Structure 1
């Protein structure tokens, strides 16, 4: 990254290099002089918006450190300045208290890792940009590992990449009471017919089950071409959906409680074929081989290109508060049309 693009920020591009990433990731920016949290960070963004977009497309992730972001409100204003029109209707995360278009991070057991994924890759729309803000770092663990999904295609076995690119992925989700967010909350409606209409418009198969539960099946790409650069990237949520990625005791309990056909989440190839456990193991090994980790500091904010970079969450202990924002929704149909 040319330092002249950011003459008033110190660039630590080599600080967190990933072994298999062509460009250092994330690009780490720190101001050369302290910023006034009430004004200067947003003014700085106005001046450097084009350079930030170029940096994001090159590196996939930009970490802002010491930008005077004192609280979630300042972060939301900062993210809104970078990418106006933050998305405020996301059903998979709880809203952040006091925020308009920000969310709390996924409420998931602290001792377990949230595996690598691209946000909403299983949905009809997903955000191109995703922001994370560290309101309070945990004293132990709690990193947000990131992976360059372009690098994943270089690391994964060629035959496996070809299979996923050709056959795609089918995500099966069962909105089971007590195991997943209720379908009413996810779809923001009590009207079954509205849910059906939206599913049909998005090309999602659906089936109403007993106990007022819903199952959906969605075929999505596993490898996409980025709409701005044309670069290919391993873009999906196979780790979050495939049953083999669950801890063994959790998997066995769920199979006993729900049965193989009604697991909260499962992933198959798009033609309905099984994705073997060995394939999932190879994907997990590749993610870890490409992963970059950094220790959160209070006030840090990171911007990801969700179509180039996957993220995860490491286990932690103690208090941890990470705020999330998203913007620039991309339609799956548009990406598929451009890829063909």
Structure 2
């Protein structure tokens, strides 16, 4: 641990693990009376830390609740994104969200936020309003290190072929397409898919299937570094619980699974390759216990995150900013 004097406070920088530089932890040694001014005065330093380490944990900065967190995030990124459709809005917040509604006893697997969509946030903020009594960590992984951990041949295949995310809106197994697209008009759905480069097919029983080709490896637009950037774990059926996977295959078949992931040319990604990816994520993962008031800022294009199972109440508030368009990285699969 070393002390770094900045503005009207002295802030210590430290790391949780001697073998990992992720995240860098900032802790004031005296109260910071003018937090927006402190941020503004040291914006360049924060940017450098974020690019180098991929994640910054602000600890003991005296944020009393979600409103103070939102102001803190806005001071760093003035244009927070307030129209994210998949997360429930935080009560009383203008541009903040509650964490993903997902069973407490199940892990949310590693992913880069919205990497399967037409645009995604470069920055993502997490604020701990209430830490759970048991579990509930937010493991984070440096996606540059993932490229060093995974077999070179597999990375080459992902980079050349990209990924195809397939989603089938089947009644009772996923949200209805009308709810997801917020319209009853099929033509409006088709227009949105066309604009986003998403292939679609209308199936019997008023079902819709979409196919979206996205990068699996990107070059960061600011640092120029390559990063393993995707949501293959959240979509590939090998990551489902075995009983659920068999039930779904028996009920709807492989071609109509609610979600699945293939290489961008439509070829299968083997269960063995998915297992290798899961093992690499866990080798690279950094976990820490949340404390009330903590703020974790990620560069979403350099760092993936997950969520461990937990017991007891847990409140994490989320904010996102600096949207990046997939079209900046788009190319033909197999090119």
Question: TM-score interval w.r.t. the shorter chain?
Answer: over 0.9
1:331 counterpart residue number = 325
In the alignment, is residue 27 of structure 1 matched against residue 28 of structure 2?
no
Distance 1:77 1:272, change over 3 A: same
CA distance in 1, matches of 2:184, 2:96: 24
C-alpha displacement of 1:3:
6.0
Maintained 8 Å contact 2:4/2:11: no
Residue correspondence of structure 1 range 51-200 to structure 2 within 5 A = 51-200=45-194
Maintained 8 Å contact 1:16/1:294: no
Maintained 8 Å contact 1:92/1:181: no
1:213 counterpart residue number = 207
C-alpha displacement of 1:209:
2.7
2:12 counterpart residue number = 11
CA distance in 2, matches of 1:116, 1:318: 22
Q: Secondary structure at the match of 1:219?
A: strand
Q: Secondary structure at the match of 2:327?
A: helix
CA distance in 2, matches of 1:196, 1:3: 56
Residue correspondence of structure 1 range 35-50 to structure 2 within 5 A = 35=32, 40-50=34-44
Question: 1:76-99: CA deviations, max 9, x gaps?
Answer: 111111101111111221111121
CA distance in 2, matches of 1:33, 1:328: 31
Maintained 8 Å contact 2:28/2:60: yes
Kindly report the root-mean-square deviation, in angstroms, between the aligned alpha carbons of the 2 structures.
1.9
How many residue pairs align between the two structures? 331
Q: Which shifted more, 129-138 or 86-95?
A: 86-95
Residue correspondence of structure 1 range 235-314 to structure 2 within 5 A = 235-314=229-308
Q: Secondary structure at the match of 2:14?
A: coil
Maintained 8 Å contact 1:226/1:307: yes
CA distance in 2, matches of 1:319, 1:124: 33
Task: Give structure 1 stretches of 5+ with no counterpart.
Answer: none
Task: Give structure 2 stretches of 5+ with no counterpart.
Answer: none
Distance 1:154 1:6, change over 3 A: farther
Question: 1:220-260: CA deviations, max 9, x gaps?
Answer: 11000000011000000000000000111221222233322
CA distance in 2, matches of 1:189, 1:50: 43
CA distance in 2, matches of 1:51, 1:182: 46
Question: 1:282-334: CA deviations, max 9, x gaps?
Answer: 00000000000000000111100000000000010111111111100001111
Question: 1:134-172: CA deviations, max 9, x gaps?
Answer: 111000000000000000000101111111111111000
Maintained 8 Å contact 1:203/1:218: yes
Maintained 8 Å contact 2:2/2:13: no
CA distance in 2, matches of 1:215, 1:125: 20
Distance 1:9 1:287, change over 3 A: farther
CA distance in 2, matches of 1:182, 1:324: 25
Maintained 8 Å contact 1:91/1:187: no
Distance 1:210 1:53, change over 3 A: same
Distance 1:67 1:253, change over 3 A: same
1:202 counterpart residue number = 196
Maintained 8 Å contact 1:101/1:325: yes
Question: 1:247-280: CA deviations, max 9, x gaps?
Answer: 1122122223332212111000000000000000
